[in-house]
Chains A and B, each alone.
Chain A
Amino acid sequence: MAATTDDIRHIAALAKLSFSDDELERLTNEMDAILNYVAQLSGAKLDGVDPAFALLRRDNVFREDRVGEMLKPDDALSNAPDRDEDFFRVPGFLPEG
């Protein structure tokens, strides 16, 4: 397992973040350390064991289709960095529906 600067740059681009070269190098090293730590798991013997995606998780947990409590717009927007009337206001972006 080795994280490259290109990997970090790619993930940063997906997250709409940009980093300086120094930051990229630091993040690459940190990511590499994390991946190596987790990679120890690949040493475990798992023949015949199905993949598990979660522990103690129950199947078929449902809600009935009834309306419950909703937030008032003022409460919904109370932590928003910026608002315009009852809309969240965000920096410009490409239109997408």
Chain B
Amino acid sequence: MMRDVAIGFEVHAQLATVTKIFCACANESGGAPNSRVCPVCLGLPGALPVLNREAVELGIRVALALESDITARSSFARKNYFYPDLPKGYQITQHRTTLATGGHVDVDVQGTRKLVGIRDIHIEEDAGKTVHAPFSKNARGSGSVGLVDMNRCGVPLVEIVSEPDISSIEEADAYLRKLYQILIYLGVTAGELHRGNVRFDTNVSIRNAVDGSLGTPCEIKNLNSFKSAGRALLFEIERQSRVLDAGGTIEHETLLWDDRAERALPMRSKEEASDYRYFPEPDLGDLVIGDDWIDFVRRFMPEPPDEHALRFRNWYGLRDDTARVLTAEPTVAIYFEDTLANLLRVLGLAPDSIVNPASRLLAISVEAREKMSVVFSEMEGISPERLPELAEVTANWVTVMVGAWVNENGVDLKTLALSCLPAARLAEVIAARVRGTVNEPAAKRLLVAAIDSSEPVDELLERLDLTQVTDASTIETLVTDVLLLHPAEVERLRAGEEKLIRFLVGQVMKHSGGKADPVLVGETLAKLLGIE
């Protein structure tokens, strides 16, 4: 039986600060166990936590992007539980008052827009990591033991709690992906799912078919990928449905997802569940956030993806689909915008200040946008049609041509942009094509050559002899030669076998060493054969 479900998520993202949330230990991943610890994050007696300002500001970014209400005065609390990865015996989190409340994520579910409500956003500390060690003997020489690494203890987390507004697995997937995209865009997390930088807990309840009320929700923890979230939801919806179909009732349970076994198992016994005995953290003062601070964060924070796509349409006249492809990842969007700015400069359509490094450094903040719009107002000699055309061409180069190279060579775009193919260099390659100096196949060869060597692009053009042949008489000679070499094909073409025109264009291109302008070749062929 099809049942209505209500799904909510708690998304935890490790914040990309330099240090931990309450101490000066480095916030990194990898490295030797217990090498990034201090008395504070080890919970040694007498050590006191001090809040990291940057963690708060990254949290404010998330709140602003999700249009949440930032709480003027929030506080910290202790969540008490005993586990080997939590040396203090409690986690410092926010409970009674949180960093922000309300807000929403604007989700696109296969073309239909849906707003998923946000209940609250809070900041807290991560716990350590536990490893099972079946072969390690404990001090008494028997029994199973665990190994604990405290490096992750105290890594800052932002937790985003949604309302149970999600009503299908597809919506859940779209919500998680959109929220993830926003977090990556804001630069608040490294976002590497396989490293556990972003983790999901979900709660699922089934709506009563008769009176429409929501059933008891069950929680599933430990979801580390979009795929495992989808599988866990399917598992849990089916499990609850079976219980209800058999006339049973759902008991509140917290389940732990096992990705390998593809099933969820109950985690804590019922009497212990959610008895965390929260109380106010006596070692930390309140967090007071005024409008000035919020404005400061807003001014220097990256543009969220939806606003970014909208600006690309408004500023550059890009089509909606192109703008969305470019803004799927900030790396691509920034690289595109940088390349386009450089292309406009190389073509002499914009002043040099369009690539002002100071404005680029701020990437896509309000600051940078204001500087860029000044430059735009100073751009002369560019027609309203020309900018969208160049923008689409640049988008195509970045996503298709460079994208293909990146996929084939297994290099990520950021690395490429920071090493062999900075935006200014890619812009020169594109300019060679836009000016008609090279034809399409030669442009692709030029791109690869520009990545492989450090020679200036104009020298590469010359050394590789890639310059397109556009001289009418040279092309006429080439075409005449080819027609003489293929009398049979010419005869069949004249008899109506039109597809042979492509064959002949190909032969002329080959004859020219790939350098002829293919459009001109087509035109010349048609003219000499007297066909339209």
User: How many A residues face the partner with a CB closer than 8 A?
Assistant: 42
- In the bound assembly, the distance between CA atoms of A76 and B72 in angstroms comes to 38
1/0 per residue B271-300: CB within 8 Å of A?
110010100101011111000000000000
Contact A62 B75, CB 8 Å, known A76-B150, A82-B139:
no
Residues of B near A93 (CB, < 8 A) are 83-84, 130, 146
Residues of B near A69 (CB, < 8 A) are 24, 38
Number of A-B contacts (CB under 8 A): 164
1/0 per residue A26-60: CB within 8 Å of B?
00000000000000000000000000011001111
| A65 nearest CB across to chain B (Å) | 4
- In the bound assembly, the distance between CA atoms of A82 and B285 in angstroms comes to 36
1/0 per residue B1-43: CB within 8 Å of A?
0000000000000000111000111100000111111110010
Question: Does A70 interact with chain B (Cβ within 8 Å)?
Answer: yes
Contact A90 B146, CB 8 Å, known A63-B52, A84-B136, A95-B132:
yes
Residue contact B34 to A77, C-beta cutoff 8 Å: yes
Residues of B near A92 (CB, < 8 A) are 132, 138, 143-146
Question: Does B435 interact with chain A (Cβ within 8 Å)?
Answer: no
Residue contact A63 to B19, C-beta cutoff 8 Å: yes
Residues of B near A14 (CB, < 8 A) are 80-82, 272, 275, 277
Query: Is the contact region of chain B dominated by helix, strand, or loop, or is it mixed?
Result: loop
Residues of B near A62 (CB, < 8 A) are 50-53, 56
Which B residue's beta carbon lies closest to that of A55?
Answer: B282
Residue contact A63 to B288, C-beta cutoff 8 Å: no
Residue contact A73 to B33, C-beta cutoff 8 Å: yes
Residue contact A96 to B53, C-beta cutoff 8 Å: no
Query: Is the contact region of chain A dominated by helix, strand, or loop, or is it mixed?
Result: loop
Which B residue's beta carbon lies closest to that of A63?
Answer: B50
B221-255 residues with Cβ-Cβ distance < 8 A to A are 222
Most A Cβ at <10 Å: residue of B83, B196, B288: B83
Residue contact A91 to B42, C-beta cutoff 8 Å: no
Number of chain B interface residues as a range: 35 or more
Which listed residue (A64, A72, A77) contacts B53, Cβ 8 A?
A64
Residue contact A70 to B36, C-beta cutoff 8 Å: yes
Residues of A near B129 (CB, < 8 A) are 97
Which A residue's beta carbon lies closest to that of B35?
Answer: A73
Which B residue's beta carbon lies closest to that of A56?
Answer: B285
Which B residue's beta carbon lies closest to that of A93?
Answer: B146
Question: Does B148 interact with chain A (Cβ within 8 Å)?
Answer: yes
Residue contact B35 to A86, C-beta cutoff 8 Å: yes
| B75 nearest CB across to chain A (Å) | 7
- In the bound assembly, the distance between CA atoms of A54 and B344 in angstroms comes to 60
Residue contact B75 to A76, C-beta cutoff 8 Å: no
Which listed residue (B24, B148, B222, B287) contacts A88, Cβ 8 A?
B148
Residue contact A70 to B139, C-beta cutoff 8 Å: no
- In the bound assembly, the distance between CA atoms of A84 and B145 in angstroms comes to 10
Closest 6 CB pairs of A and B: A68-B24, A92-B144, A87-B147, A65-B54, A53-B280, A62-B53
Show 19 A/B contacts (Cβ-Cβ < 8 Å), sorted by A: A10-B271, A14-B80, A14-B81, A59-B286, A62-B53, A62-B56, A64-B54, A65-B17, A65-B53, A68-B24, A68-B38, A70-B37, A71-B37, A77-B34, A82-B139, A84-B147, A86-B33, A87-B131, A90-B148
